[in-house]
Amino acid sequence: MNYFCTLFDSNYLSRGLAMYESLSENCDSFHLYVFAFDDLCFDVLKNEKLKNVTIISLSDFEDPELLEIKPTRSAGEYCWTCTPSVIKYAIDKFNLPLCTYLDADLYFFNDPAVLIEEMGDKSILITEHRYTPRYDQSATSGIYCVQFMTFKNDKYGMDSLIWWRDACLEWCYARFENGKFGDQKYLDDWPTRFENVHVLQHLGGGIAPWNIQQYDLVTSDFKLIFYHFHGLKFLNNNHVELGNYRLKEIDIKILYSPYIKKLELIRKKIENNDKKNDFHGTQSFEYHWKVPIRNVRRKMLGEYNIIKLSEFL
């Protein structure tokens, strides 16, 4: 049995449900602990009656230390702050032998059990960004990505988790400052700071917009385990923004097109019961005089990824 946890609010609900469905389709034996970060998210998830899922509300999860610093963080920063806390809560509350944290915008194409098995007798599993050189942000965003991380319920796993939680409570903001950035830069020295750390080697885990330029998904001999749909935004002018990275047409066809269709199907299903709320976190398209100039530059670099939603449906 593999145990996973994730967190998201109603603005990420379609992504979270898509991640869950992909996990259900590819993982033989699992349980997912979902931390619902607003009441609407909690209510919708409860109504869905999801198999192999435990839904945890903020009122059950938040402790005095989190509540004390909550007013000092933005909504996004608070989610980052809570990442180590949700993993620790799941392990402690449900007495799990180990737990793997998943970002809500991951989508699985094969069973992630192979990634967890790779860590063997190690206690902590972390994944590198594996940046394409032109997009290397290691210095400011970190060497490792908080997207897929496993902690065992042993001394090494729990010591690192407690250290990370304390660090995030002290400082976790969406800016680079004094060698820190969010919850992520803290991981940079983990292979030497902590014992029993394994850095994922499987190339099929951790494919993302910032490194997909290195891979050929059609002819590669490795299995794609998950893709991280970082930066994908629905815009209120019926367009979708796929991010600011260079994407090949075949990657958009193989990855983004079916994913966006899935998100739309999920949204429409939820909206049968709730037509007042948006579950994509749709963002306003804001025009500025610099936008055309910026878009010309992006097109020249092959990084213009704003596409009509209708082209995916």
* 97-114 pLDDT tens trace: 999 999 999 999 999 999
How many domains does one find in the chain?
1
pLDDT category at 276 given cuts 50, 70, 90 is low
Q: What's the CATH code of the domain at 175?
A: 3.90.550.10
Q: pLDDT at position 160, please?
A: 98
pLDDT category at 220 given cuts 50, 70, 90 is confident
- Domain hosting 40: range is 1-313
* Confidence check: pLDDT of 285 > 70: no
Residues 6+ apart with CB under 8 A from 178: none
Residue labelled with tokens 């994913």: 259
Q: What is the spatial distance between Cα 24 and Cα 3, in angstroms, rounded to a whole number?
A: 13
Residue labelled with tokens 């065992």: 152
- The pLDDT tens digits for 248-275 are 999 999 999 999 999 999 999 887 666 5
- The pLDDT tens digits for 131-187 are 999 999 999 999 999 999 999 999 999 999 999 999 999 999 999 999 999 999 999
> Cβ-count burial of 26 within 10 angstroms (0-12 exposed, 13-18 middle, 19+ buried)?
middle
- The pLDDT tens digits for 160-170 are 999 999 999 99
Q: pLDDT at position 289, please?
A: 61
- The pLDDT tens digits for 4-47 are 999 999 999 999 999 999 999 999 899 999 999 999 999 999 99
